[in-house]
Structure 1
Amino acid sequence: MSADPKRHLSRSALDEYLYNPSPAVVTIPGVPNCRLVVDPERRRIALQSPYDGLPVPALDLEYAELKAVSTGGTQWYELSIQYARHPHESYLFLSDIADLIQQEGCSFEEATMSAVATFEQILAHSRSLSRERQIGLFGELIFLLSCIQATTAGESIAAWKGYAPHEHDFVFPTGAFEVKTTTTETRRHRISSLDQLSPLPDSPLWLVSIQLTSASPATGRTLAQVVEEARRLADDDPELDKSLARAGWRDRDSATYRTPYRLRSTPVAYAIRGDFPALTRPAIARGCRNPELIVDASYIVDVTGLTANEPPSPANLFTRG
């Protein structure tokens, strides 16, 4: 069913609600009354329609919840979606339900089940990894594979910290390693915070630069294949699965990661020392007034022209190819 533009928000109109931090309630014209609840802070969007007293049907979807709620003295059916990176698709899903209720005379349950059949695939994959996170996880895993061969599976998995806030990707007794992966022809890497390239006390910090390029199935590996290779090499260590889950990996999404990748070049490492172009809190303190007012920043650094260094074990095996 095509949406009536007079009944529903345009993409730009919806964006105004999505980029406003305050929750909003938008009435959808028609009978019975239907309204949209947009809550950008919680990344949640919901459709409400008057509750008729019948049992609320079960809805077996991971990122959608159907329940009865009471607001302003009125009881409603409420179907809410944690939309993650798909707010517009989620809105279309809820708009379709509203059309079925108001224009086709369907009950809330009938309309919901009909729309679910159409949109289930979108909902099922609403939290699969973005392409940027896929590339990042691919790089961390192939670095992990090399570390396992240089040390042990247990030691390497325990050293993998990249999924945790304010931690470097890998922390070994020999030093910490930030693993950065790009598919560009130059070694341009995004640094996500002012702390990411700040060394820990008494622990040298290294940036490991990986360049990937798309490949054929015969010459490359998909992210799912690298995950399976890591599991084999780690002898299905349950700690690896815990780390993968914290990094956002879910087996149910593996079929969506279809692109094979291979190394574009041999990985290299750079020592994060005083001459490395890093934007850190000490650097800001030296270079501007009121540095305490700069809360955080992300930036892109191009290390293509820098001279690489020989990193300590276990990274040295990785950079030797």
Structure 2
Amino acid sequence: MITRNPKRHLSRAALDEYLDHSSPSVLTIPGEPICRLVVDPAQRRIALRTTHDGRPAPALDLEYIHLNVVHIDGDRWYELSIEYADHPHESYLLISDITDLLQQEGVTFEAAVVSAVATFEQILAHSRSLSREKQIGLFGELLFLIGCIRATSVQEGIESWKGFAPNEHDFVFPTGAFEIKTTTTEARRHRISGLEQLRPLPDSPLWLISIQLTAATPATGRTLSEIVDEARELTSDDTDLARSLARAGWRERDRDTYRTSYRLRSTPAAYLVDRDFPALTRHAISRGCAHPELFVDASYTIDVTTLSSSEPPSPADRFIQEG
């Protein structure tokens, strides 16, 4: 049995090395409480072991995920084991999420498992490839992410990407928040989902970044899969990027279904979401509608073609300038 102490998380390539071993590997993940990753290729199993805190193991009703309390060398451990079949990387991401919740957020083991498994189940629920609308949206967000990484750093760029999480703006930097809207129409028409999407954060400006795409030939454009590969290459296949892609709906098994190539129809444009911007928010409803408390939610389309764009703060300014 091989025992190693790696950096906090493994890259996709590093995990593949352990998956190619004939014997199990046990890797200690730095931090408290103690967390150990078990990779057992012969059993096609990957597991997390962490210190038992005296509470019963939470009940899980999942076919390929098992949770037990085990005794090893006189110590008691929680062990969450996943039969990964053809999805070892996705299984590793689930374990990484639980580890981060334990060691970085300080939550209990039960809370970490329940939270991470809920996210994992949502990921598994997307058994079909992304809809065309979501493909276009992810394409635009990855274009912006790549631009931000080149303007800042891999870590800052990936950590800023929040759009896959509920009630978050797409990208959040110290300089402001950025909502990325991508369309294939000739006009800059963008769908706004909900009354909160264009609500600025306190003491932080909000910018709408408008991206227009058009269909292209393979020689002049790129597919969604190619944009994903470019982001992976730029970040050396960073584990956090893989986790973010998964939460955004990307599945490696679907890559062959994304065959349409796109290129920019125009230079991206930036719009400050201020009093003069056409945003339908709860604040706007409270000022202009009777019984605003009865409005539950709303989705709408805006056309910003005739609005004057502005120069956004870093790192979006470079993205706009370089197109």
Output aligned runs, 1:233-312, within 5 Å: 233-312=234-313
Q: 1:213 aligned to 2:214?
A: yes
Shift of 1:178: 0.1
Q: CA deviation at 1:127?
A: 1.6
Consecutive unaligned residues of structure 1, counting only runs of 5 or more, are 1-59, 63-83, 85-123
Q: What SS does the aligned partner of 1:176 have? A: strand
| Cα pair 2:126 2:249 within 8 Å, conserved | no
Identity %: 70
1:69 corresponds to: none
Aligned partner of residue 286 in structure 2, secondary structure: helix
Larger radius of gyration: 1
Secondary structure (helix, strand or coil) at the match of 2:242 reads helix
The alignment status of 1:193 with 2:194, answered yes or no, reads yes
Shift of 1:306: 0.1
Deviations 1:69-110 (A, max 9, x none): xxxxxxxxxxxxxxx9xxxxxxxxxxxxxxxxxxxxxxxxxx
Distance (Å, rounded) in 1 between the aligned partners of 2:173 and 2:258: 30
1:220, distance to aligned residue in structure 2 (A): 0.1
Describe the SS at the equivalent of 1:166.
Answer: coil
Aligned partner of residue 190 in structure 1, secondary structure: strand
State the distance in 1 between where 2:167 and 2:127 align: 26
Change in Cα spacing, 1:294 to 1:279, as seen in structure 2 (3 Å) is same
| Mapped partners of 1:126, 1:310: distance in 2 | 40
Name the amino acid aligned to 2:278: P
- Give the equivalent residue in structure 2 for 1:227: 228
The Cα offsets for residues 13-57 of structure 1, whole Å up to 9 and x where unpaired, read as: xxxxxxxxxxxxxxxxxxxxxxxxxxxxxxxxxxxxxxxxxxxxx
Provide the TM-score with structure 2 as the length reference.
Answer: 0.61
Q: Displacement of 1:235 after TM fit?
A: 1.2
Shift of 1:256: 0.1
CA distance in 1: counterparts of 2:254 and 2:209, whole angstroms: 28
Seen in structure 2, the aligned counterparts of structure 1 residues 61 and 127 have a Cα distance that, compared at 3 Å, is farther
Q: Which amino acid aligns with 1:290?
A: H
Amino acid at match of 1:278: A
Q: Deviations over 1:115-143 (max 9, x none)?
A: xxxxxxxxx99521000000000000000
C-alpha distance in structure 1 between counterparts of 2:185 and 2:143, whole Å:
18
State the SS of the aligned residue for 2:267: coil
Retained in 1: the 8 A contact 2:167–2:196? yes
Give runs of aligned pairs for residues 1-321 of structure 1, distance below 5 A: 126-320=127-321, 321=323
Task: Tell me the equivalent position of 2:117.
Answer: none
TM-score, normalised with respect to structure 1: 0.61
Q: Which runs of 4+ in 1 moved over 3 A?
A: none
CA shift, 1:236, in A, is 1.0
Question: d(CA) in 2 for partners of 1:300 and 1:158?
Answer: 29
Q: For 2:256, what is the secondary structure of its paired residue?
A: helix
Contact 2:198 2:273 survives alignment (8 Å): yes
- CA shift in 2, pair 1:194/1:125, >3 Å: closer
* C-alpha contact 1:125 1:253 (8 A) present in aligned 2: no
Shift of 1:249: 0.2
Alpha-carbon separation, structure 2, partners of 1:211 and 1:217: 18
Ranges in structure 2 where 5+ consecutive residues have no aligned partner:
1-84, 88-121
Deviation at 1:316, TM superposition (A): 0.3
Asked if the contact 2:178–2:207 (Cα under 8 Å) also holds between the matched residues in 1, the reply is: yes
How far the C-alpha of 1:269 sits from its partner, in A, is 0.3
Answer yes or no: is the 8 Å Cα contact 1:178–1:206 preserved in 2. Answer: yes
For the aligned residue pairs, the C-alpha RMSD in angstroms reads 1.9
- Provide the C-alpha distance between the structure 2 equivalents of 1:238 and 1:193, rounded to a whole number of angstroms: 31
Letter aligned with residue 143 of structure 1: F
Tell me the distance in 2 between the aligned counterparts of 1:220 and 1:273. 34
Residues 176-230 of structure 1 deviation map (CA, whole Å, 9 limit, x = unaligned): 0000000000000000000000000011000000000000000000000000000
Structure 2 distance, partners of 1:242, 1:203, is 27
Counterpart of 1:22 in structure 2 is none
**How far apart are the structure 2 equivalents of 1:303 and 1:222?**
26
State the 1:289 CA deviation: 1.0
How many pairs does the alignment contain? 202
